[in-house]
């Protein structure tokens, strides 16, 4: 679906590995005081003084995690950074640096990598992080991107998956299921295009969900909001695989159960209407869709007044004793055991 704009196609072999790294990273400037030395030596040098350091890494593989027939490289670069920062924020930490490693086949011209790096640079600017290193190598198959994100947190501020206590409230930021429905629309348009390449996709009315799929944001703002509200979550995780499995992780690590209320799950109106169009249950999508990159956390009931009414946050349930089990309370007020997968016909 990405048209060839008759762009230049400079073979990577023209630059060589060092010329390429130099070319792609020459605009990156240092923003964080913890970055002592960035790209250009055998290793970066960082200084975090009295902060604890948070490190997380992700590997994205063409054909598994992204499809270049509808994911523009610029968005892919942006997303590859954002999904890692999301993990840093899920520790209640501030993201400060990333390293970016790529394996690329010679079917990619320099201009394609420039696009990828333009997206990386935009994300670095928006999230105020430094790109301090990486690795570049060739691939015989597709494109691989591995990002490592580094962050800092005051030792008493880090939030783990393991801190949820019975009676805590279960809270999620933003809304859920949009990225999955965006992917469904993109997959459908890809099939239409395959049948007739003259069919230009009509994506009006799907803007929000497609953007949620192709160019997600990490909830740095929520970490800052919680700090401003003086709320320290008791446990936190980011929603990358779907609400259901993230709740299961929190409960498992905290050794607790939970009641999740179907009616409280936040959904964007566009998700509801596209679910109707695709004849998919919107709760199923929110529970199992994934790639929302929202933050799911628990708070003590005492902190409820501080978050009450905040449009960015929804209380979707509460934590129970481990022995009570993990349940979804449906709109019809029946209690169903929460499972990581397979929410097909829970209404009947």
Residue 320 in contact with residue 256, Cβ under 8 Å? yes
Instruction: Verify binding: residue 40, ligand ADP, rule CB under 6 A.
Output: yes
Which of the listed partners (ligand ADP, Mg ion, none) does 25 bind, with a CB threshold of 5 to 8 Å by partner kind?
ligand ADP
- Which of 145, 239 has the CB closer to ligand ADP? 145
Instruction: Verify binding: residue 136, ligand ADP, rule CB under 6 A.
Output: yes
Beta-carbon contacts of 261 under 8 Å, excluding residues fewer than 6 positions away, are 316, 317, 328, 329
- Contacts to Mg ion from residues 102-161, by CB under 5 A: 135
Query: Shortest gap between Cβ of 170 and Mg ion (angstroms)?
Result: 43
- Which of 135, 276 has the CB closer to Mg ion? 135
- Which of 25, 283 has the CB closer to ligand ADP? 25
Beta-carbon contacts of 327 under 8 Å, excluding residues fewer than 6 positions away, are 257, 258, 259, 260, 335, 336, 337, 338
Q: What is the dihedral of CA 171, 173, 174, 179, to 10 degrees?
A: -100
Which of the listed partners (ligand ADP, Mg ion, none) does 224 bind, with a CB threshold of 5 to 8 Å by partner kind?
none
Tokens of 295: 């933050």
Query: Which residue in the shown chain puts its C-beta closest to ligand ADP?
Result: 133
User: Which listed residue (71, 83, 85, 100) binds ligand ADP by CB under 6 A?
Assistant: 100
Terminal-residue alpha carbon distance, the chain = 40
- The site for Mg ion, by CB under 5 A, has a size of 1
- Candidates 62-70, 79-87, 94-102, 175-183; binding stretch for ligand ADP (CB under 6 A): 94-102
Backbone phi, then psi, for 47, in 5-degree steps? -135, 115
Which of the listed partners (Mg ion, ligand ADP, none) does 333 bind, with a CB threshold of 5 to 8 Å by partner kind?
none
User: Which listed residue (134, 177, 216, 317) binds ligand ADP by CB under 6 A?
Assistant: 134
Bridge partners (DSSP) listed for residue 146: 59, 101
- Which of 149, 179 has the CB closer to ligand ADP? 149
Give the chain's radius of gyration (CA, Å).
21
Instruction: Verify binding: residue 133, ligand ADP, rule CB under 6 A.
Output: yes
Instruction: Verify binding: residue 63, ligand ADP, rule CB under 6 A.
Output: no
Residue 227 in contact with residue 297, Cβ under 8 Å? no
CA distance 86 to 295: 8
Beta-carbon contacts of 308 under 8 Å, excluding residues fewer than 6 positions away, are none
- Which residues form the interface with ligand ADP (CB under 6 A)? 21, 25, 39-42, 100-102, 131, 133-136
């Amino acid at each position: 679906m990405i048209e060839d704009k008759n762009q230049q196609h400079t073979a990577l072999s023209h630059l060589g590995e060092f010329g390429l790294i130099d070319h792609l990273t020459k605009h990156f400037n240092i923003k964080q005081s913890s970055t002592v030395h960035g790209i250009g030596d055998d290793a970066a040098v960082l200084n975090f003084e009295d902060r604890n350091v948070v490190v997380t890494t992700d590997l994205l593989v063409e054909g598994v995690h992204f499809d270049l027939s509808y994911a523009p490289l610029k968005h892919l670069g942006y997303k590859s950074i954002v999904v890692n920062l999301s993990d840093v924020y899920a520790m209640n930490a501030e993201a400060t640096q990333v390293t970016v490693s790529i394996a690329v086949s010679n079917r990619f011209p320099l201009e394609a990598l420039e696009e990828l790096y333009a997206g990386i640079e935009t994300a670095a600017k928006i999230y105020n992080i430094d790109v301090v290193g990486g690795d570049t190598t060739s691939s015989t198959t597709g494109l691989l991107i591995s990002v490592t994100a580094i962050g800092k947190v005051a030792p008493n501020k880090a939030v783990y998956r393991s801190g949820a206590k019975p009676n805590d409230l279960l809270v999620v930021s933003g809304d859920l299921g949009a990225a999955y429905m965006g992917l469904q629309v993109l997959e459908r348009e890809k099939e239409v295009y395959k049948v007739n390449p003259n069919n230009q996709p009509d994506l009006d009315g799907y803007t929000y969900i497609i953007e949620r799929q192709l160019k997600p944001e990490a909830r740095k703002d929520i970490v800052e909001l919680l700090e401003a509200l003086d709320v320290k979550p008791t446990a936190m995780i980011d929603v990358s695989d779907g609400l259901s499995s993230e709740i299961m992780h929190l409960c498992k690590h905290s050794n607790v159960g939970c009641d999740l209320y179907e009616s409280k799950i936040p959904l964007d109106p566009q998700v509801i209407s596209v679910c109707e169009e695709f004849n998919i249950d919107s709760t199923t999508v929110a529970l199992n869709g994934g790639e929302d990159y929202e933050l799911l956390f628990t708070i003590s009931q005492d902190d409820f007044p501080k978050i009450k009414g905040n449009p960015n946050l929804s209380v979707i349930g509460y934590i129970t004793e481990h022995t009570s089990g993990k349940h979804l309370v449906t709109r019809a007020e029946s209690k169903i055991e929460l499972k990581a997968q397979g929410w097909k016909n829970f209404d009947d």
